[in-house]
Structure 1
């Protein structure tokens, strides 16, 4: 029934509620700048009334809960948008690094200028007489430097891209390690939250910590979550479970032999008998997916483009250079390339040279032993034409036999211990190679200008670097004959295939940097768009969970008034009790 003592407890309930409200408000104000903190509010409900003959009489107020202001669905959207933003931001950062390396800010500093200088040097040499004049020798020295610089720029560019891909691996490994740490902490918090809430205790702070970890996780890879009735959260990555209640499943990395030993990302349960699942191509959003994308697509494409440039440069230059002659006459040439087995047909897997050999013939020009010259003083050559029939299963060994048969006593060919070829003139003679429709000379590495076979190892031939007189600018060494130098200078208009299409040597740099710029520009556009979406969604979430100084001051004032009013109410009831007990005379004493 309603009495003075019951009335006191009504006031006490108001005082208690006000104290809790002030305490929660103070906690909010203390955590205004705390990361991942969600504003808390006091949920007040009317106590169940007391029913009397005079009707229902209220008994005060109860604190039903201290509620955490949060929107799980909106938070999931924020995580996804942030994951998308960080994906493009990470791509943009890596592409920017690659582009800055190749973007030539200073004249003469990069690949574009190296290509231009290389072909200009050949052009200059073609305008000089193939003799021992200081002008000719100077131009040969300039060409050596230009060719050496070009080869170095290609090698260094390829290596820089490979180093950048390796840096992507380091980032991926670090992010995978971080994910495993985060999922372990989430699993631990799941247990603590379930335990606390099972005993009726709010776990607001623990949930804040867990949501903060989920935010961190989404920065590294796109995730989805499912909140269970017991308060635990399950976390999924593209269909695979990362966290299930109190259990965390691990990600791991392995070297992929099919991708230059770069890392692949694997998912595995905690069952020791389970086999890891390759998630590399399935990763979406976040830093890891961005690094995988840049590493295995953009950067790999740029490497492939440099490879195409180097291979075509080596092939076309050496094809022409092999059939020419330098200032120093040679009596012997040894090829730089080899086959696995010289007895297998050319172009077969076992008998193949670095470049395919075609049906046709090549010429070996042999000076006469007597050193006869024509009326203009040019050497007279005895030309031997060697025919190759790949379609009839010619092997390296049979081609050498043909050279020996045709060469007679003037030229011989032999197979070296490392399966390279040596072609040698008889004593007192020297040789030069003429027209080659088979590519045999270029394929065997005879009289090469460049060594190597790709962007990794392209280099100026060591003998030419040491002696520029060996540059085969002439076809036969006749006065005024710069045919080979002119042919090589005109290679700048030759087209070759890249990842995205055909391009000429002279246009390669523009194409190459254009591809980089396009990829960087696209990533920047998506970065700006996704950043805007993330900020908008995050603003909406912060309007729900964020602490407002003005709102908390209002709440503080309200709870202060509530405390004061209920305190005065208790004083009034206390005075009534005092009157009842002490002011009704002595009858009751």
Structure 2
């Protein structure tokens, strides 16, 4: 009798096992279109055998585990790949906006206004005493200045927008960290109960990919299935706890936010330098390096035009006999005190000799009893003992130092910073425009107007020995080249991502053909199990009939 009941039990276990396998197959089929879903597999194993003569007899089957079918290596690669997509995606978008700033296709851009500005000097040279030509030249100068200012404003607005996006991404990162920590707790509870948290793990993998698109991180998993996330060695999420990234005021980048790590202890640590990939990295590079570089070049070009035109204009004479007048408002060097300076030194800078200006940036550093002024592009420098007050002239800039600077105090000095946003026609009237090279104002003397017009073809030291037009063309070409590079890089990363997705789908994706075959297989096994129970029942009824 026990062997017949054993058959009943084997049939019952087989029914339960195949029913559960059918449920797993049904879940796979139902989620065939669910993004990030990982195919699940019911793992069958025999139940412990029963000792019997002449040997052990099986006692049935059971589902020991419902397992996610996946390759952790491919999953890790796919997650990391999202950081590349995030970075190049944001670069492509922002550089497209930058490229539009330099679009001269409508004939009203900087290239055109620069040509028309120097053409106005040629017109003046053809009629040096003509009032219409003088008024037209001033209007062309105002148009050129307005174009510079407009481009400066547009580039700075893009930079502000990037900063706003940085703040937004930090908020998204914090939300994802909280959600991942919450899933950690749920996964741990399921793991403690002896089950596999398959669907919860799928949800967490999707969140980890979303997080990777925004910021690079490293992670590891503990025995309970909880994942810990680190950025620059700082925990963003651990078990059910999450920590916060927030924008903090940059010390050397006024008005913009660095990335601060807030563990909730009251101390915020700057981790900007640890952001190495993802959308956030792309935004920070664009905001802090690429856009400032473009603005700097625009400033250099505006400053070079101001410096060259003013030098030549001051050498000539107006119709009223005046000389030494600036055509544009003169250059006004800027001095920036770097964060961390501890002393009370005061630095002021003025243009001493315009002909010696390189339009580079300089760094003034105090070390002990000495100071050093260095050209940040060429590396040329000068060092001397500091005595309060001290005045030094370096590459056309006069620097006045006073007060008590501390050891290590650093200042940055520039003759061109901000010029594309402040270039403007000086307060001269048409009669003061210096078309003549002689004080007597000989009628028809156009020699200085010709020299001013010829500046268009001059190779300018402050522009790496390029003409204004050539420098601008190289500048625009660099913008376009970087934009195309970002586009190509994004396309290449998308191909890699698609390949990884394909590899993942081959292993973890749901195949309807395969699941249909499994459905039939488990259905037949279920039917056979039911038939087994029916046979056992018939055997039992036969035995009972004999006894009656």
TM-score (normalizing by structure 1): 0.76
Deviation string, structure 1 residues 119-138 (Cα, Å, up to 9, x no partner): 1111221122x32xxxx233
**Alignment correspondent of 1:105:** 105
1:568 aligns with 2:543: no
**Alignment correspondent of 2:351:** 355
Contact conserved, 2:329 with 2:424, CA < 8 A, in 1?
no
Give the Cα–Cα distance (whole angstroms) in 2 for the partners of residues 497 and 21 of structure 1. 79
Contact conserved, 1:314 with 1:453, CA < 8 A, in 2?
no
**Alignment correspondent of 2:289:** 297
Q: Can you give the 5+ residue segments of structure 1 that lack an aligned partner in the other structure?
A: 341-348, 361-394, 396-437, 441-450
Pairing 1:81-120 to 2, within 5 Å after superposition: 81-106=81-106, 108-120=107-119
* Deviation of the 1:532 alpha carbon: 1.8
Give the Cα–Cα distance (whole angstroms) in 2 for the partners of residues 470 and 308 of structure 1. 27
Give the Cα–Cα distance (whole angstroms) in 1 for the partners of residues 423 and 173 of structure 2. 41
**Alignment correspondent of 1:470:** 432
Indicate how the Cα distance of structure 1 residues 439 and 564 shifts in structure 2: closer, same or farther if over 3 A, else same: closer
* Deviation of the 1:87 alpha carbon: 1.2
**Alignment correspondent of 1:42:** 42
**Alignment correspondent of 1:62:** 62
Contact conserved, 1:190 with 1:245, CA < 8 A, in 2?
yes
**Alignment correspondent of 1:268:** 262
Give the Cα–Cα distance (whole angstroms) in 2 for the partners of residues 34 and 152 of structure 1. 54
Give the Cα–Cα distance (whole angstroms) in 2 for the partners of residues 578 and 572 of structure 1. 10
Q: Can you give the 5+ residue segments of structure 2 that lack an aligned partner in the other structure?
A: 334-344, 357-388, 390-395, 399-415
Q: Secondary structure at the match of 1:259?
A: coil
1:236 aligns with 2:235: no
**Aligned residues between the structures:** 479
Indicate how the Cα distance of structure 1 residues 456 and 333 shifts in structure 2: closer, same or farther if over 3 A, else same: closer
Indicate how the Cα distance of structure 1 residues 453 and 256 shifts in structure 2: closer, same or farther if over 3 A, else same: closer
**Alignment correspondent of 1:150:** 144
Indicate how the Cα distance of structure 1 residues 47 and 497 shifts in structure 2: closer, same or farther if over 3 A, else same: farther
Q: Secondary structure at the match of 2:466?
A: strand
1:519 aligns with 2:518: no
1:178 aligns with 2:172: yes
Q: For 2:419, which of 444, 454, 466 is the aligned residue?
A: 454
Q: Secondary structure at the match of 1:74?
A: helix
Q: Secondary structure at the match of 2:216?
A: coil
Give the Cα–Cα distance (whole angstroms) in 1 for the partners of residues 417 and 535 of structure 2. 101
Give the Cα–Cα distance (whole angstroms) in 1 for the partners of residues 174 and 490 of structure 2. 27
Contact conserved, 2:315 with 2:324, CA < 8 A, in 1?
no
Q: For 1:190, which of 171, 176, 184 is the aligned residue?
A: 184
1:534 aligns with 2:497: yes
Contact conserved, 1:339 with 1:351, CA < 8 A, in 2?
no
Q: For 1:490, which of 439, 451, 454 is the aligned residue?
A: 454
* Deviation of the 1:35 alpha carbon: 2.0
1:316 aligns with 2:316: no
1:78 aligns with 2:78: yes
Deviation string, structure 1 residues 345-371 (Cα, Å, up to 9, x no partner): xxxx979663124899xxxxxxxxxxx
TM-score (normalizing by structure 2): 0.81
Deviation string, structure 1 residues 381-437 (Cα, Å, up to 9, x no partner): xxxxxxxxxxxxxx9xxxxxxxxxxxxxxxxxxxxxxxxxxxxxxxxxxxxxxxxxx
Give the Cα–Cα distance (whole angstroms) in 2 for the partners of residues 295 and 150 of structure 1. 26
Contact conserved, 1:304 with 1:498, CA < 8 A, in 2?
no
Give the Cα–Cα distance (whole angstroms) in 2 for the partners of residues 215 and 359 of structure 1. 56
Give the Cα–Cα distance (whole angstroms) in 2 for the partners of residues 350 and 556 of structure 1. 82
Indicate how the Cα distance of structure 1 residues 45 and 314 shifts in structure 2: closer, same or farther if over 3 A, else same: same
1:168 aligns with 2:162: yes
Indicate how the Cα distance of structure 1 residues 185 and 22 shifts in structure 2: closer, same or farther if over 3 A, else same: same
Give the Cα–Cα distance (whole angstroms) in 1 for the partners of residues 450 and 346 of structure 2. 37
Q: Secondary structure at the match of 2:194?
A: coil
Contact conserved, 1:324 with 1:472, CA < 8 A, in 2?
yes
1:256 aligns with 2:250: yes
Indicate how the Cα distance of structure 1 residues 23 and 162 shifts in structure 2: closer, same or farther if over 3 A, else same: same
For structure 1, which segment, 194-203 or 236-245, has the greater mean C-alpha deviation from structure 2 after superposition? 236-245
Contact conserved, 2:306 with 2:331, CA < 8 A, in 1?
no
Indicate how the Cα distance of structure 1 residues 59 and 354 shifts in structure 2: closer, same or farther if over 3 A, else same: same
Give the Cα–Cα distance (whole angstroms) in 1 for the partners of residues 348 and 539 of structure 2. 113
Indicate how the Cα distance of structure 1 residues 6 and 269 shifts in structure 2: closer, same or farther if over 3 A, else same: same
Deviation string, structure 1 residues 526-567 (Cα, Å, up to 9, x no partner): 223222222212211122221111111111111111111111
Indicate how the Cα distance of structure 1 residues 307 and 337 shifts in structure 2: closer, same or farther if over 3 A, else same: closer
* Deviation of the 1:105 alpha carbon: 1.8
Indicate how the Cα distance of structure 1 residues 550 and 195 shifts in structure 2: closer, same or farther if over 3 A, else same: same
Computed over aligned residues only, the root mean square deviation of the Cα atoms, in angstroms, reads: 2.9
Deviation string, structure 1 residues 39-97 (Cα, Å, up to 9, x no partner): 11101111111110121111111000111122222211111122113212221221111
Indicate how the Cα distance of structure 1 residues 89 and 350 shifts in structure 2: closer, same or farther if over 3 A, else same: closer
Q: Secondary structure at the match of 1:495?
A: coil
Indicate how the Cα distance of structure 1 residues 487 and 554 shifts in structure 2: closer, same or farther if over 3 A, else same: same
* Deviation of the 1:290 alpha carbon: 0.7
* Deviation of the 1:268 alpha carbon: 2.8
Contact conserved, 2:83 with 2:278, CA < 8 A, in 1?
yes
Contact conserved, 1:74 with 1:541, CA < 8 A, in 2?
yes
The structure with the largest alpha-carbon Rg is 1
Give the Cα–Cα distance (whole angstroms) in 2 for the partners of residues 547 and 297 of structure 1. 45
